[in-house]
Amino acid sequence: MVSADEILIQAATLQDETELEIRISRPSGQPEIGKLIFGKIGRVVRHLSTSVDAAFRENVFWRVGLGECSCSFYKCKIGIIEFDSRAKTVELKNCEIGQIEFKNQKPVDNLKVVIENCSIGTFLFPRELNAHSIEIKGSTTFDRSVVLGGIEEVLLKGFKAPNRASFAYLADWANRRNDSALAHIARRNELAIEQVQETGLTKRILWFWGFFSDFGFSPVRPLYWLLLLFGLSFVLILLTGASVALSDAQLVGWRTSLVLCDPWSGLRIAAVGALEPVISPFATLSSRRMVVPDSSWVAAFQTFQGVFSAGMILLSGFAIRRRFKVSQ
């Protein structure tokens, strides 16, 4: 008779069996078990099927099917895991997962899913799902090339291709619940799959968008690139020199500092010269520039810097708008 709230099973070893099916029957009137906690299992489990609350730590499974239960997996390697809305709570933390599949089971909506710091190869989500909540947190990634040591056979036989529609369904599910954070994650991964599948100019545009701003989900990344080019322009002007293109009548206020003869004059000139293309993308071609590079190739670089900086500012602005917009 089992009556404990939790039972810890450390270093369980499977000899000849590769099927792990958890079933617990209790006599009428006896208390239910709270949770089974498994330590390392000696052999790779080909199939785990459970309707009993359980926790698994550092195990390897080829296939996992969950019934009406609460299960947590920590540092596990899982080939395929599937469950429907009859499940209660599913926690996946620091796991490597080849394929995760949600299945709808109307009209139950008790399902709570937490995915944290996991690497996932294929994500399958139905058009409609009855679920209470879904959280994707930390550094979770969706990467088809995820390496799952010890379950390569499943990678070859059981996995489906990345499904762009699944992320679209997840984004729609999240938007209906005003979960903007989850909707952003879903949309970003949808665009990443689209970028792989597209061809021609559209593929290149999506690559540019993804590389420089994470498909509009990173407001800061474009600003890093902007600062990088600013710093490079600053160094180039220091090394090659520049001239102050202001008449005596224009040398008023802070502009007089550009012609002062002191140890900092070169730094001031370089800073203003590097900043002008950021403020005015085509400043290099303007006769109203305050600082003009002495080198023609530095001037050409600053033309590129100006156009590129304008693009980065636009990408950052779009990302900020998307980040703080609750619903589409």
Burial 213-233 (b: 16+ CB within 10 A, else e): bbbbbbbebbbebbeebbeeb
Give 16's pLDDT tier (boundaries 50, 70, 90): very low
Q: Chain-wide mean pLDDT for the chain?
A: 76
Spatial distance between the Cα atoms of 154 and 158, rounded to a whole number of angstroms: 5
What was the pLDDT predicted at 178? 85
**Sign of dihedral through CA atoms 128, 133, 166, 149?**
negative
291-293 vs 242-244, strand pairing mode: antiparallel
Which amino acid is residue 1, in one-letter code? M
Mean pLDDT across 300-304: 89
Q: Could you check whether the bond before residue 162 is cis, i.e. omega within 30 degrees of 0?
A: no
Q: Give yes or no for residue 248 having a pLDDT over 70.
A: no
Helix (H) or strand (E) holding 8: strand 6-9
What was the pLDDT predicted at 55? 83
Q: What are phi and psi of 224, to 5 degrees?
A: -60, -45
What was the pLDDT predicted at 8? 39
What was the pLDDT predicted at 228? 94
Spatial distance between the Cα atoms of 165 and 25, rounded to a whole number of angstroms: 41
The structure's pTM equals 0.68
Q: Give yes or no for residue 317 having a pLDDT over 70.
A: yes
Task: Please state which of the ranges 28-32, 63-67, 99-103, 306-310 shows the lowest mean pLDDT.
Answer: 28-32
Q: Where are the domains of the chain?
A: 6-197, 221-323
Mean pLDDT across 296-314: 89
Nearest to 19 by CA among 35, 37, 41: 41
21 vs 207 pLDDT, higher one: 207
In degrees, rounded to 5, the angle at the alpha carbon of residue 194 between the alpha carbons of residues 191 and 198 is 140
